[in-house]
Amino acid sequence: MAQGYLMIELGIMGLFGAFWSIAGTRLVREQGYPWLEKIGYAAGVVSLVLSLIYIVWGFTR
Q: Identify whether 41 is part of a domain.
A: yes
Inside any domain, residue 3: no
Parent domain of 33: 8-60
Number of domains in the chain: 1
DSSP string, 3-56: HHHHHHHHHHHHHHHHHHHHHHHHHHHHHT-HHHHHHHHHHHHHHHHHHHHHHH
In a domain, 32, yes or no: yes
Residue 2 resides in a domain = no
pLDDT of amino acid 51:
92
pLDDT at 1: 65
Tens-binned pLDDT, residue by residue, of the chain (61 aa): 678 888 888 899 999 988 888 888 888 888 888 888 888 889 889 999 999 999 999 888 7
